Structure 1
Amino acid sequence: MTSPLPSLFAVRVDELNRFVNDHGRLPNSQVGDTAEATLAKWCQAQRNRTEGRLGTMTDAEADALEAIPGWYWQAPDGSTVWKDRLAELQAFVLTHGDIPRRRGDTAAEKSLANWVRVQRAKKTNPETVGTLTVEQSDALEVIPGWWWSGQPTSTFKSAADDLLAWVKSTGTFPKEYTTDKEERRLASFVTRYRDSFRAGTLGRPQAEQLEAIPGWDWQIAPAEQWWDTLISVAAWVTENGRIPRGKCDDETERKFGRWCEHARRAAKPGSASTLKMTDTRRRALEAFIPGWYWSK
């Protein structure tokens, strides 16, 4: 017959079960919440008991702990723990549309916000720089609204409101190829959140706010694509020192070369191209692409 659990131990197990049911994870000793930190330290004390420290553990006590979802005796691999917290952060942002706050409404949000603070410190604090891997850094940077130091220049909502005001005022979406800093900022915002949507990391509340903007489209419009390609072609020409050829073995050069050929055809009188060669585009081709020519 299994021995009954000591009363104090049973009380702690009940507390631990409730915590895991409420938060979906084991308690963390590195949080600001005193109750959670105390419970986490109690968990570690029980693990120490299995190693011959702080007394011995009965089979009944071990069974009670092992019945708790996520319980472990040996700490899992650090990268696994990190990925679990990253998944929690992604889920939070998808649900709430923002990064968790240390003054949040729930203990779970505060705990997650503290983890976020630690990750930022690993990137920006001179004493801890280098402790965050490139892969971890990249994974954090694709989370909508992520920032490393200082304060975010604007929240998602305020940036989306600025974009809405811009569209209503100008009747068009901002473009990145302008000298206007505000327009470039808004264009960068559009690109970033389109990318997040395609990657599946954009929360529904954020998506709905963007979709409420007149003319919003998750796909890049043909006119926008033209300018994006122009920038890519200009970079290729700068790197390679020549205009790309439409007939060659290299796939990238061939694609850019055909785009250049299409641009020249579009400039001819009577062209049936769906993307007409406006004066603005003519000037951009001549200004951005070194060695550009209309005909040989």
Structure 2
Amino acid sequence: MKTYKESKGVWPSTRSRDQDVYLLAKWLVGQRVACRAGLMPASRKELLDHEVPGWNETFQETWERTAKEIAAFRTNNGRMPSGVSKDNAERRLSRWLDDMRRGRGMSPERKVFLDGVLPGWDVTRFSKPTNTSVPTGRRAA
């Protein structure tokens, strides 16, 4: 689990077509369910907490952490993450941000959160101008 998270930068997904990844994800889901239901032995929780930090993070916590990662990226780099970067982690952040701009997984509360930690998150560099006075290259008659 720890090796997968470190190498991929994300948790394994139950949507994966790779059988090993799928089974790893199902195991993780089972551990989370058992922990939240109070059915996990304390020794196992301590081991997972120590060996695999963040293993029991909720979806909302992961979402908020990702938004903060993008804010830190922008602070450190002076720009938003790029989808064409050679860095996998940067491309992952860019895809996440694109999904938010498209409204995927967005709620009014999440929009307020993003506006607070990442002002201007919804502005894309490649937006078409809305001003009709932009020169078209034609001359007036």
TM category (shorter chain) comes to 0.5 to 0.7
TM-score of the two chains, using structure 1 as the length reference: 0.31
For 2:55, give the aligned amino acid. Answer: W
Give secondary structure in 2 for the equivalent of 1:70: coil
**Higher relative contact order (CA closer than 8 Å, sequence separation 6+):** 2
Aligned pair 1:81/2:57, yes or no?
no
Q: Which runs of structure 2 are paired with 1:18-167 in the superposition (5 Å)?
A: 18-19=6-7, 26-27=10-11, 29=13, 38=21, 42-48=24-30, 51=33, 64-67=47-50, 68-72=52-56, 75-76=57-58, 78=60, 80-122=61-103, 131-133=107-109, 134-139=111-116, 142-143=119-120, 146-148=121-123, 151-152=126-127
> What is the alpha-carbon distance in structure 2 between the residues aligned to residue 141 and residue 58 of structure 1?
39
Alpha-carbon contact 2:83-2:90 (below 8 Å) kept: yes
Give 1:108 shift. 0.7
Alpha-carbon contact 2:81-2:91 (below 8 Å) kept: yes
For 2:30, give the aligned amino acid. Answer: N
Alpha-carbon contact 2:5-2:11 (below 8 Å) kept: no
Alpha-carbon contact 1:141-1:147 (below 8 Å) kept: no
Residues 88 and 44 (structure 1 numbering): CA distance in 2 closer, same or farther, change over 3 Å? farther
TM-score of the two chains, using structure 2 as the length reference: 0.57
For 2:107, give the aligned amino acid. Answer: T
Residues 62 and 93 (structure 1 numbering): CA distance in 2 closer, same or farther, change over 3 Å? same
Give 1:96 shift. 1.8
Residues 92 and 51 (structure 1 numbering): CA distance in 2 closer, same or farther, change over 3 Å? closer
Give 1:47 shift. 3.1
For 2:69, give the aligned amino acid. Answer: E
For 1:121, give the aligned amino acid. Answer: R
Give 1:43 shift. 4.0
Alpha-carbon contact 1:119-1:132 (below 8 Å) kept: no
Alpha-carbon contact 2:13-2:25 (below 8 Å) kept: no
Residues 61 and 100 (structure 1 numbering): CA distance in 2 closer, same or farther, change over 3 Å? same
> What is the alpha-carbon distance in structure 2 between the residues aligned to residue 132 and residue 149 of structure 1?
20
Unaligned runs of 5+ in 1: 1-11, 123-127, 154-180, 183-296
Unaligned runs of 5+ in 2: 35-39, 135-141
Give secondary structure in 1 for the equivalent of 2:48: helix
Decide which structure has the larger Cα Rg and report it. Answer: 1
Give 1:118 shift. 1.2
> What is the alpha-carbon distance in structure 1 between the residues aligned to residue 65 and residue 105 of structure 2?
22
Alpha-carbon contact 2:84-2:91 (below 8 Å) kept: yes
> What is the alpha-carbon distance in structure 1 between the residues aligned to residue 70 and residue 86 of structure 2?
15
Q: CA RMSD in A?
A: 4.3
> What is the alpha-carbon distance in structure 2 between the residues aligned to residue 49 and residue 142 of structure 1?
36
Residue-by-residue CA offset, 1:195-252 (whole Å, 9 max, x unaligned): xxxxxxxxxxxxxxxxxxxxxxxxxxxxxxxxxxxxxxxxxxxxxxxxxxxxxxxxxx
Alpha-carbon contact 1:101-1:113 (below 8 Å) kept: yes
> What is the alpha-carbon distance in structure 2 between the residues aligned to residue 138 and residue 71 of structure 1?
27
Residues 27 and 138 (structure 1 numbering): CA distance in 2 closer, same or farther, change over 3 Å? same
> What is the alpha-carbon distance in structure 2 between the residues aligned to residue 108 and residue 148 of structure 1?
21
